[in-house]
Structure 1
Amino acid sequence: MVEYRIDDLARTAGTTVRNVRVYQDRDLLPPPRKEGRTAIYSDAHLTRLKLIISMLERGYAFAQIKEMIGAWESGRSLGEVLGLEEEVASRSWAQDAPRAVSAAELEANFGDQLTANVTKRTLDLGLIERRGRGFVAPLPELYEAAVELVALGIPLEEVLDIAESMQAKVDHLGAELAGLISDHVLPRASTADEATPFYGEVIDRLRPLVFKALNSAAIRSADHYIPSIIGARMAELMSGRREREASSAGTD
């Protein structure tokens, strides 16, 4: 399970360190584990933090959120308190665990294309994240795809353009799917005790379906467009060769 310092947790959740501390002070967010003077947070904290942010965005007041969380936590140990969060967080959708990426590796892969502005964009898009003094690729497959595209000769800024566009389209599809699940699936659990195992099962069943659907759609699109552009380019090259051969024959 991924561990976070408070600034990493805030950045990943899309909030501020100040807000994280406010939620802790109001007993909405469980205390972190301590390693010396360093506070260490888990994926369960991240899930709880996103839940708090979502409830605030829906108009719930701190007191209402605390009351609902308190009802959930009543009579349970800390491990049980995080039950649903742990259940959900343990079922990561990522196929590979995040991996460290050194500054030297970034330099080797992207060279002078990795300007200050491009680095900021790369961070904003989530291809890499700052962790302490180094970097982490939260989704190694996505990062490695960017590396391969640059190695093929596509400028890094244009790779980021397509990554940004792709993420926006996938986010739209994800929101539509989430709406369907919220309307038709989640209400089937009517109590917190039912929700913990049921929502874990929902994620387990959805994960392969989502991967298969997106992979199939991408394959169908690639099968249509990639051979088409390669065929067009081959036709240009062959036409050019015939013209050169005809020109050469005419001068003999």
Structure 2
Amino acid sequence: MEELAAAAGITVRTLRFYRERGLIAPPRREGRIAWYDDHHLAKLRTIAALLERGHTLNGIADLNTAFESGKDVSEVLGLGEPTEEEPVRLTPQELADHFAGEVTPENLLAALDLGYLATDGDAIVHISRRLLDVSAALVREGIPLAAVLEAGRAVREHADALAGLFTELLREHAEEKDIQRLRPLAKSVVDAELSMALDRRLREHP
């Protein structure tokens, strides 16, 4: 414990407090010896980074609980399923940097529930670099992350309906082996229709 505290730049008393709060996992024990490893040190450095960014210990504990109750990456992405989206691995402080001041337990739970975030051991995984970049850009423009996530939930419902429509169309009129090859055509139709719908809405409500 003394060696871990020294490596993390904190006191043994602080380390004991973090352990009692459940902020770090218990050590591996061999007889009367308690062994801490690089995962414990990484967690302590994450706690320090989040504290520097203005998070409270209660908030960090809530975030920790939310991550531990979240799905792991295999549940979210599936095993061996094809995807065009590029997952992004993040540390908690990197996630906090993307959404400065907006990574609350409530928003974190909403993102986990949507499947935007998952866990992979000690790492956080965002399922799509494009969604991560767009969400962060909207927050930088002043749109609350909670509103972005709520919009994402609504978009998910419509996207599922559109995907179902095109999947049925392709399966009815194309060979199974050709469906993956033809999926970009379905995406192009949706992109064009969305573009025209935005034009109409902006003309109606300038």
Fold-level similarity (TM above 0.5): yes
Contact 1:99 1:140 in 2 (8 A): yes
Q: State the number of aligned residues.
A: 136
Match of 1:10 among 72, 75, 82: 75
- How far did residue 217 of structure 1 move? 1.6
Q: What CA distance in whole angstroms lies between the structure 2 residues aligned with 1:10 and 1:102?
A: 20
Q: What CA distance in whole angstroms lies between the structure 2 residues aligned with 1:218 and 1:133?
A: 38
Please tell me the root mean square deviation across aligned C-alpha atoms, in Å: 2.4
Shift of the 167–111 alpha-carbon distance from structure 1 to 2, 3 Å rule, reads same
Q: Is 2:172 aligned against 1:183?
A: yes
Q: Is 2:193 aligned against 1:204?
A: no
Shift of the 132–226 alpha-carbon distance from structure 1 to 2, 3 Å rule, reads farther
Q: Residue type of the partner of 1:144? A: D
Q: Residue type of the partner of 2:133? A: E
Which of the two has higher C-alpha Rg? 1
Q: Report the TM-score, using the length of structure 2 for normalisation.
A: 0.58
Match of 2:193 among 217, 225, 235: 217
- How far did residue 126 of structure 1 move? 2.2
- How far did residue 120 of structure 1 move? 1.1
In the alignment, structure 1 segments of 5+ residues that lack a partner are 1-5, 14-41, 48-88, 187-197, 232-252
1:41-190 pair list within 5 angstroms: 42-43=79-80, 47=81, 89=82, 92=83, 94=84, 96-186=85-175
Query: SS at the partner of 1:129?
Result: strand
Q: What CA distance in whole angstroms lies between the structure 2 residues aligned with 1:7 and 1:129?
A: 5
- How far did residue 11 of structure 1 move? 4.5
Contact 1:128 1:136 in 2 (8 A): yes
Query: SS at the partner of 2:166?
Result: helix
Deviations 1:37-95 (A, max 9, x none): xxxxx51xxx4xxxxxxxxxxxxxxxxxxxxxxxxxxxxxxxxxxxxxxxxx3xx3x1x
Contact 2:76 2:118 in 1 (8 A): no
In the alignment, structure 2 segments of 5+ residues that lack a partner are 1-70
Q: What CA distance in whole angstroms lies between the structure 2 residues aligned with 1:212 and 1:113?
A: 33
Query: SS at the partner of 1:111?
Result: coil
Q: Report the TM-score, using the length of structure 1 for normalisation.
A: 0.48
- How far did residue 118 of structure 1 move? 1.2
